[in-house]
Amino acid sequence: MKSNVAVATTIQERKRKMSQQIQEKYEESHLYKIRHSAAHVMAQAVLEMFPEAKYTIGPPVENGFYYDFDLPRNLTPEDLEKIEKRMRQIVQGKHEFKKTVLSAEEAKKIFADQPYKIELIEGLEQGGFDEYGNPLKEKPEISIYQHDSFTDLCRGPHVESTKEIKPDAFKLMNVAGAYWRGDENNKMLQRIYGTAWENAQQLKDYLHQLEEAKKRDHRKLGKELEIFIFDDEVGPGLPLWLPNGGIIIEELEKLAKEMEEKAGYQRVRTPVVSKEDLFLHSGHLPYYAESMYPPMELEGVKYYVKPMNCPMHHKIFGSKLRSYRDLPIRLAEYGTCYRYEKSGELFGLMRVRSMQMNDAHMYVTEEQFEQEFLAVIDLYLKYFDLFGIEKYVMRFSKHSKAGLGKKYVDNERLWNKTEEMVRRAMINGDVPFVEVEDEAAFYGPKIDVQIWSVIGREFSLATNQVDFAQPARFDLKYTNKDGQEEMPLCIHRAPLSTHERMVGFLLEHYAGNFPVWLSPEQVRVIPITDGQNEYAEKITAQLRENGIRCHADLSAQRMNAKIRSAQLMKVPYMLVVGDNEMKAGQVSLRARDGSQQNNIPLGDFIARARDRIARRAAEL
RNA sequence: GCCGACGUAGCUCAAUCGGCAGAGCACCCGCCUUGUAAGCGGGCGGUUACGAGUUCGAUUCUCGUCGUCGGCUCCA
């Protein structure tokens, strides 16, 4: 504990580097002011269109801004065009932004017919809450900003005048529903999203970047590369893995098994359904029922499809007497789980209803916890290194006091204790992380690894969770040195996420250009004329003999067309064989990146491919 | 689940004002024997997501259901 203070400082510095600094820098930037000001201009245009509109909040966000309105009717795409047009007129008026600090009373007078603003003012007045409803430490000053005919409750900052918002450097993107204060029990407002930049070129670049991102969207690539499909009759969120997807999954499992075997895991297998009793016992039903498929009833007994593997693994741990000498016990399973995610939450492979988790549960003594927890983090980092994943944030998800007994098991002492254990482990391991309230699992705190899909949506990829609740509920125990019974802690972990989310993420991460070891088809042999078909088949057989996934393209197409189709399927190696190659027992290699190496002995190519596959190398 | 948009051949997309549903690719059949991203010709392919309604007539207009997408909420 004594050295933690020094380490914590380092961590804090790194943390700030990772996110806070970026955040603070953005908030002070000119771009931030432009976006914030553009939001005000948009609100003015909307209020001119709907004088009876109630306006709420309109902050800058990454790449732009939004503003939420309570309007008499739904906005149409045509409305957006009109609003955008009016905004261009307004900004060209070169109106100054003027700040005025005033009392709550004065502010309430100004916004007398704006109930949302009144609510915001009251929040500020009580020193309690900011515009998102989050608690504030200090009582903030109340200020308004005015430009042209528009006045908004706002703490700023803004640009000097609307002339800094270039009429050709912003664009309204879309309308979406959003709950007031983000609470689904509140009224749904209409949110207009816009993007704004310093100049027209930046806007153009951003829009181009969006187009590019669409090309590597895993839903598009998954279809093009024949990885997976969804079928209406099978159901939403239930992917069907095509042969190519099946291969990727097999490779990921092979990787996981290798790594886990080295790390001392044991593999188990458990059923997909179980009696209701198990989930009552585990505590899932009181806390998690909403996300579970409803039960099926047979001969008077209710059965549930499992949303998680943990209760089954706990049963295995509890199936015999355990000694402290046996711990840690690490039970691993690529378990198939089903969760009834709400229809609007589904998102390609990234958010599905059937999933195969890279799951494991380790049962540890309190003394073993830190080392074991860090060993898991270390495993993550090994995987990320292998995949070249660099953009992620480790998020330490904690409970909230208000959620105790509702979202979280009601034992504040253990929450605080285990959260401190996680924090200490991360600090001692010198792993950078950010802390977030009210994001924990119902049974304990966790470290989530946050990543972003190519269109910018945030997901938890891997997860490393502490569970102090279920071991108690299942009465799990081991015998310690003194012959007394003690309860182990449980660590849930899924460094390779689920197959679904992992493959979805990797598709986007690699833009479909999987490294050789993950590529469904590693080699395509392309005979130039049908005179080399037999040779092509011979080569194919030989490659397969060497454990290389390979097909020969014997279609009646031109070589150029064959190359094109292999290229479109992002096959890493194309072996072009004509008469010359056939006579010499050679191949001409064209790699996916367009590079060429002509007339190389087949054995040389096999050695190269085998090397890349064995090392799971990134390079071709 | 909520707000909004969308749903045409296996895929990508057309179809003017409500007037016989079309193209490219893919697939099948031929011809061509070819050197690093599409050779040529022909053929097959549709209850316009599904179900109602309005109309002489609906891919087109209205309503409902299902699904997808953009967000919100929620999450591996």
The pair of three-digit structure tokens given for residue A317, joined into one six-digit string: 């741990």
Q: How far, in Å, CA of A447 to CA of A600, rounded?
A: 49
Q: Which nucleotide is nearest to A568 (CA to C1')?
A: B37
Check if the beta carbon of residue A418 is closer than 8 Å to that of residue A489: yes
CATH number belonging to domain A22-214: 3.30.980.10
Our measurement of CA A202 to C1' B34, in angstroms, reads: 47
Q: Which nucleotide is nearest to A457 (CA to C1')?
A: B71
- What is the third-level CATH fold of A246-268+318-509? BirA Bifunctional Protein; domain 2 (3.30.930)
**A566-620 pLDDT tens trace:** 999 999 999 999 999 999 999 999 999 999 999 999 999 999 999 999 999 999 9
Q: List bases, strand B, within 7 Å of protein CB.
A: 1-5, 11-12, 26-27, 30-39, 66-76
Our measurement of CA A504 to C1' B25, in angstroms, reads: 26
Q: Which nucleotide is nearest to A504 (CA to C1')?
A: B76
Lowest mean pLDDT among A3-12, A94-103, A131-140, A439-448: A3-12
Q: How far, in Å, CA of A35 to CA of A198, rounded?
A: 9
Q: How many CA atoms lie within 13 A of A227 on its CB side?
A: 31
Q: How is chain A split into domains, by residue range? A: 22-214, 246-268+318-509, 516-615
| Residue A122, pLDDT score | 85
Q: How far, in Å, CA of A311 to CA of A278, rounded?
A: 7
Number of H helices, E strands in chain A: 20, 29
| Residue A432, pLDDT score | 87
Check if the beta carbon of residue A7 is closer than 8 Å to that of residue A430: yes
Q: Which nucleotide is nearest to A440 (CA to C1')?
A: B75
The pair of three-digit structure tokens given for residue A364, joined into one six-digit string: 């540890």
Residues A240-256, mean pLDDT to the nearest whole number: 96
Our measurement of CA A224 to C1' B25, in angstroms, reads: 13
Residues A141-151, mean pLDDT to the nearest whole number: 89
Find the helix or strand (DSSP H, E) in which A167 lies. Answer: none
Q: Residue A7: is its pLDDT beyond 70?
A: no
**Range A516-615 classified under CATH 3.30.565.10:** no
Residues A221-234, mean pLDDT to the nearest whole number: 93
The pair of three-digit structure tokens given for residue A359, joined into one six-digit string: 């799951």
Q: How far is CA A339 from each of CA A162, A308, A608, rounded to the nearest angstrom? A: 49, 9, 43
By C-alpha distance, which of A197, A280, A253 is closest to A499? A253
Rounded mean pLDDT of chain A? 89
Q: Residue A356: is its pLDDT beyond 50?
A: yes
Our measurement of CA A608 to C1' B51, in angstroms, reads: 59
| Residue A328, pLDDT score | 94
Question: ∠ CA A101-A105-A110 to the nearest 5 degrees?
Answer: 75
Nearest protein residue to nucleotide B4 (CA to C1' distance) is: A176
| Residue A102, pLDDT score | 87
Handedness of CA A518, A508, A360, A381 (dihedral sign): positive
Q: Which nucleotide is nearest to A499 (CA to C1')?
A: B76
| Residue A104, pLDDT score | 85
Check if the beta carbon of residue A464 is closer than 8 Å to that of residue A430: no
| Residue A1, pLDDT score | 30
Q: Which nucleotide is nearest to A567 (CA to C1')?
A: B37
Nearest protein residue to nucleotide B39 (CA to C1' distance) is: A558
Residues A248-257, mean pLDDT to the nearest whole number: 97
Our measurement of CA A91 to C1' B20, in angstroms, reads: 53
The dihedrals phi and psi of A590, each to the nearest 5 degrees, come to -115, 120
| Residue A260, pLDDT score | 96
| Residue A330, pLDDT score | 96
| Residue A2, pLDDT score | 30
Top pLDDT among A20 and A46 is at A46
Nearest protein residue to nucleotide B50 (CA to C1' distance) is: A232
The pair of three-digit structure tokens given for residue A418, joined into one six-digit string: 């285990």
**A69-94 pLDDT tens trace:** 999 888 888 888 889 999 999 999 88
The pLDDT > 90 percentage for chain A reads 61
Q: What is the CA radius of gyration of chain A?
A: 29
Q: Residue A14: is its pLDDT beyond 60?
A: no
Q: Residue A19: is its pLDDT beyond 60?
A: no
Q: How far, in Å, CA of A277 to CA of A289, rounded?
A: 13
| Whole-complex ipTM | 0.93
Q: Residue A332: is its pLDDT beyond 90?
A: yes
The dihedrals phi and psi of A197, each to the nearest 5 degrees, come to -140, 175
Q: Which nucleotide is nearest to A591 (CA to C1')?
A: B36
Q: How far, in Å, CA of A483 to CA of A372, rounded?
A: 23
* A85 contact partners, CB below 8 Å, separation of at least 6: none
Our measurement of CA A234 to C1' B49, in angstroms, reads: 15
The model's confidence at residue A29, banded by pLDDT at 50, 70 and 90, is confident
Q: Which nucleotide is nearest to A532 (CA to C1')?
A: B33
Our measurement of CA A590 to C1' B6, in angstroms, reads: 41
By C-alpha distance, which of A148, A153, A52 is closest to A102? A153
DSSP-derived pairing of the beta strands A322-323 and A329-338: unpaired
The model's confidence at residue A136, banded by pLDDT at 50, 70 and 90, is low
| Residue A81, pLDDT score | 86
Check if the beta carbon of residue A248 is closer than 8 Å to that of residue A236: no
Our measurement of CA A456 to C1' B18, in angstroms, reads: 42
Q: How far, in Å, CA of A247 to CA of A126, rounded?
A: 59
The model's confidence at residue A552, banded by pLDDT at 50, 70 and 90, is very high
Asked, as a colleague might, if the bond just before A271 is cis with ω within 30 of 0, I would say no
Q: Which nucleotide is nearest to A492 (CA to C1')?
A: B76
* A151 contact partners, CB below 8 Å, separation of at least 6: A110, A144, A145
The model's confidence at residue A486, banded by pLDDT at 50, 70 and 90, is very high
Q: How far, in Å, CA of A170 to CA of A80, rounded?
A: 13
| Residue A128, pLDDT score | 61
Our measurement of CA A190 to C1' B73, in angstroms, reads: 15
Our measurement of CA A218 to C1' B24, in angstroms, reads: 25
| Residue A349, pLDDT score | 95
Q: How far, in Å, CA of A296 to CA of A303, rounded?
A: 5
Q: Residue A347: is its pLDDT beyond 60?
A: yes
Our measurement of CA A543 to C1' B73, in angstroms, reads: 51
